[in-house]
Amino acid sequence: MTQTTAGALAGLLIVETAERPAGEYTGKLLADLGAQVIKVECPKGAPTRHMGPYHKGESTLFAYLNTNKQSVALALEDTGEQALLDRLLARAHGLVDDHSEAWTQRSGLSPDHVARRHPHLVHTIVTPFGQDAPQDLQVLRSVNVINAGGWGYHSPSEAPPDKPPLKGAGRFLPDYEAGIDAAMATMASLLRLRRCGKGQFIDISEVEVQLNRADAVLGRMLAGEADPSVARTAYDMGGPGTSFACIDGHVFLFMTTSLHWKALCGLMGDPDWSRNFRQDWLEFDCTPANVAAFRQNFASWIALRHKHAVTVAAQKAGVAMVPINTAADLPVHEQFVHRAFFQPADHPTFGPVAYPGACYRMSATPAGVRAPAPALGADQGELSA
């Protein structure tokens, strides 16, 4: 591994009993910032060890979510194993979990039990609808969360009406979003612990995180400017913009004002067909027929362009157009290369790999990959430390 500088959270011990991407990503963010994160797994290993995609027989998802962590294996349905975990928690600063209330009760890790036994702990639990939700809502999956929060319809917006709503959002988007909030709340509470010597319980609802990410569309509904609707188009931003195919991929166009239209016409060289539209058509004549006519003509024009060249020219002209990057595009993206976002490291099975880094750069205590995801039970000695 390339990262050797001590991280901002060095000296803090976090126990992670999470078994889903939401909790594991929370722990990863803390570990990448320098905390010692001990992952407690069942004897068969965390479920994410057995989730694809795979490379050389190992889960790449697990490899990403568990960098810089240690692993111990415990059967928490056994009271003796619970006692081992209890001793580990006695010297920890935080506990990260993502299980339902029923599981925490069986495992001796309910918020009330942890608060009585370890009042110093910062105890964070990430669940789909929060700890006070009905049991059947606490065991839902990411696909349920992303639709309950509206983002199955909204990402991407302006999706073709004949296509299913789950089109653009990543498989674990709500997990990652909730993990970010959970990590921030945990770090704020760890600072309080350092200053006041008191722990606390943090209850993260993944759906509420999704709702907090909702943009101006929901705001317009709340303000009474738009009627609430269950239609899949309710989250669309409006206008004729959508995804368009070009020579080497796709671009996304956002266009809602006469300034956007004027700039786009200039970019296209003022084609004859553009004169069929009023200059202010986006504000006052954005009819379904005009939207369809624009999309048909623009699709023919953009199909002959390369996505990076045309979007650079568009942005310089004042047109809100961006390339739709693929996984292959990202490691060679000029800005990511400039910021060294992808960090080269060695994995014992994969060999040399490039890990996605953090979206922030800290000069004295940079986040980074110091160690690959651990083998199951590789650090059992920590239980007797």
Secondary structure in 3-state letters for the chain: CCCCCCCCCCCCEEEECCCCHHHHHHHHHHHHCCCEEEEEECCCCCHHHHCCCEECCEEHHHHHHCCCEEEEECCCCCHHHHHHHHHHHHCCCEEEECCCHHHHHHCCCCHHHHHHHCCCCEEEEEECCCCCCCHHHHCCCHHHHHHHCCHHHHCCCCCCCCCCCCCCCCCCHHHHHHHHHHHHHHHHHHHHHHHHCCCEEEEEEHHHHHHHCCCHHHHHHHCCCCCCCCCCCCCCCCCCCCEEEECCEEEEEECCCHHHHHHHHHHHCCCHHHHHCCCCHHHHCCCHHHHHHHHHHHHHHHCCCCHHHHHHHHHHHCCEEEEECCCCCHHHCHHHHHCCCEEEEEECCCEEEEEECCCCCCCCCCCCCCCCCCCCCCCHHHHHC
Q: What is the pLDDT of residue 139?
A: 83
Q: What is the pLDDT of residue 151?
A: 76
Angle between helices 21-32 and 173-196 (to 10 degrees): 50
13-212+335-384 and 243-328, same CATH topology: no
Q: What is the pLDDT of residue 147?
A: 82
Per-residue pLDDT tens digits for 145-180: 988 887 776 666 666 666 655 555 678 989 999 999
Per residue of the chain (385 residues), what is the pLDDT tens digit? 445 678 999 999 999 999 999 999 999 999 999 999 999 999 999 999 999 999 999 999 999 999 999 999 999 999 999 999 999 999 999 999 999 999 999 999 999 999 999 999 999 999 999 998 998 888 888 888 988 887 776 666 666 666 655 555 678 989 999 999 999 999 999 999 999 999 999 999 999 998 888 766 677 777 777 777 766 666 666 679 888 999 999 999 999 899 999 999 999 999 999 999 999 999 999 998 999 999 999 999 999 999 999 999 999 999 999 999 988 999 999 999 999 999 998 999 999 999 999 988 999 999 999 999 999 999 999 988 7
Per-residue pLDDT tens digits for 235-245: 666 679 888 99
Q: By the 8 A CB rule, do 347 and 339 touch?
A: no
Q: What is the pLDDT of residue 215?
A: 67
Instruction: Report pTM.
Output: 0.89
Tell me the C-alpha distance between 308 and 171, whole Å.
26
The CATH homologous superfamily for domain 13-212+335-384 is: Crotonobetainyl-coa:carnitine coa-transferase; domain 1 (3.40.50.10540)
The CATH homologous superfamily for domain 243-328 is: formyl-coa transferase, domain 3 (3.30.1540.10)
Domain range list for the chain: 13-212+335-384, 243-328
Residue with tokens 């789950």, as numbered in its chain = 166
Per-residue pLDDT tens digits for 295-347: 999 999 999 999 999 999 999 999 999 999 988 999 999 999 999 999 998 99
Q: What is the pLDDT of residue 216?
A: 65
Nearest CA to 330 out of 249, 213, 243 is that of: 249
